[in-house]
Amino acid sequence: MDRDTTLFVVRGMSLATEFRYGIADVPLAFGQDCKALVAKPGIEPLFLALSIAAMAEEILGMVEYAAHGTGKLSSDRIKALTLPLPPAETQRAFVAAVEPMRELMSNLRAQNLVLGEIRSILLPRLVSGDLDASDLDLEPELLGI
């Protein structure tokens, strides 16, 4: 799937309480408990993704449950959704307005992953004493906190 494709969970216990969805940052593959919505020509992918997110409560109301509590969201029910579709120009204007925020979120997510990896490398070394941090100036104002 391409960037900005909308992905969402269609089977699982989480459907009992929330509609889990995502917007692809990079081309990807996914498993059988998820579905993807690919925008047709004339529909901006990011507009589609955020429209689906806005319909989360309605979509949760479509979930069917098995006896053991697992939720299922059938493709037929998703296909039956009615999505208000403004003209292409309006969609493009909307995407132009939200795209900077989407890019910032994507960049912050990537930075967070890198920082998490750095923490995973440094923390064991700090705890074991292999790395000495006693000379570091960790004043909150210097860290931007």
| The residue type at 40 | K
Please check whether residue 67 lies inside any domain of the structure.
yes
- The average confidence (pLDDT) of the chain is 89
Residues 98-111: pLDDT tens digits? Answer: 999 999 999 999 99
Please check whether residue 1 lies inside any domain of the structure.
no
Tokens 């799937």 sit on residue = 1
User: Could you tell me where the DSSP H helices lie in the chain?
Assistant: 45-54, 56-60, 75-79, 88-128
**pLDDT category of residue 132 using cuts at 50, 70 and 90:** confident
Total domains in the fold of the chain: 1
Please check whether residue 110 lies inside any domain of the structure.
yes
Please check whether residue 76 lies inside any domain of the structure.
yes
Domain encompassing residue 46: 6-128
Please check whether residue 58 lies inside any domain of the structure.
yes
Instruction: Answer whether 6's CB lies under 8 Å from 36's CB.
Output: yes
pLDDT of 114 above 80: yes
- The CATH number of whichever domain residue 63 belongs to comes to 3.90.220
